[in-house]
Amino acid sequence: MTADATTLSDAVLSELLAFLTVDDLLVLERVSLAWRRTLATPRFWSHVQLIHEWNDSELASAVVRLAAKRHGPQVKKLTLIGCVVPKGTLVKAAKLFVSLTHLTVSGCQTIENVDFTALVRASNEQLVEVRAIKCLRLTDAALQAIAENHAQSLERINFSYCRQISEYGVESLVQRCSNLRSIKLKGSPAVTTSAAVLIAESCPALDTLLVGGAKNLTDDCLLALGDHCPHLTSLDISRSNPFGFGRGGITDKALKYLVLRCPRLEHLTLCGQGRLTLAVLSSLATSCPKLDTLDIGGCRGIISDPI
């Protein structure tokens, strides 16, 4: 089969290679000149993905470095999920990923600023989406690198459960990246009412804001969203412990204002906002005809009052 690789139709070849991992492809292209020529096609390298099983730090880093060396400029999407990335192991290879539009390093709990920022800085004004969920060692320096290099291109960012980023880092990011449409910062102590207000004021195209588990948000953030983000379709302002003590800082008045100004809402999570009452349900029904999911778990003022 290796001798006849170039005779396969594109459809058959694509189906065949779809079952192979990145390291399989890297090995295959060394089997023969025919395979090397066949695999030189950019479409086979547009998305380099390593997921979970790559918990061997040396192996995961080696595969990324090899992919960068052979096909770095062809890679549009780089996805590393649950991989162990020792400090400094990707710095040199990162410089070869000059065409990245999508970067995911979610669950890579050992990745540090030096490697992440190297990946971000490899290209300029090209990244559309960055996902770094539960990257425990990333700090404001990671957000700063994104803002400095992709302020105009960035549309979606997810730094949920990154505990070391700060309110200042979030505010600095959104002030520069005004084209953001989706911001996900769940479980982040960096999100305060002040940060949420600045997000709304800085990102008028925003359609998704997930900040569940943030510090005690108040009405001000909903008023700002209502004033500046008419395209909002998904919002999560749940409290970190929705079934615990405390009632939250969101009232009926602010939520009614928000839904009146954001009629495109489809997904709304209000868990633990205990000051809300049954009255908001009628406002939602009237103002948001596209509402598909509503989570009011722990909203004692609503669920304890029979309809």
How many CB atoms are closer than 10 A to CB 231?
12
Confirm if 288 and 260 have CB atoms less than 8 A apart: no
Average pLDDT taken over every residue of the chain: 91
Reported as a pLDDT band with limits 50, 70 and 90, residue 68 is: very high
Helices (H), 29-105: 33-38, 57-71, 91-94
Report d(CA 272, CA 216) in Å as an integer.
Answer: 11
Q: Is 152 exposed, middle or buried (0-12, 13-18, 19+ CB in 10 A)?
A: exposed
Ordered by start, the domain boundaries in the chain are 1-44, 45-165, 195-307
Which residue is it, tokens 């004021």? Answer: 201
Report d(CA 74, CA 76) in Å as an integer.
Answer: 6
CATH architecture of 195-307: Alpha-Beta Horseshoe (3.80)
- The end-to-end CA distance of the chain, in Å, is 68
**Which tokens hold the place of 117?**
């920022």
Largest CA distance in the chain: 73
pLDDT tens-digit series, residues 116-152: 999 999 999 999 999 999 999 999 999 999 999 999 9
pLDDT tens-digit series, residues 87-110: 999 999 999 999 999 999 999 999
Do 195-307 and 45-165 have the same topology in CATH? yes
Reported as a pLDDT band with limits 50, 70 and 90, residue 2 is: very low
The fold adopted by the segment(s) 45-165 is 3.80.10
Taking residues 12-30, report their average pLDDT.
83
Which residue is it, tokens 């489809």? Answer: 266
Helix axis angle, 140-150 relative to 113-121, nearest 10°? Answer: 10
The pTM of this model reads: 0.92
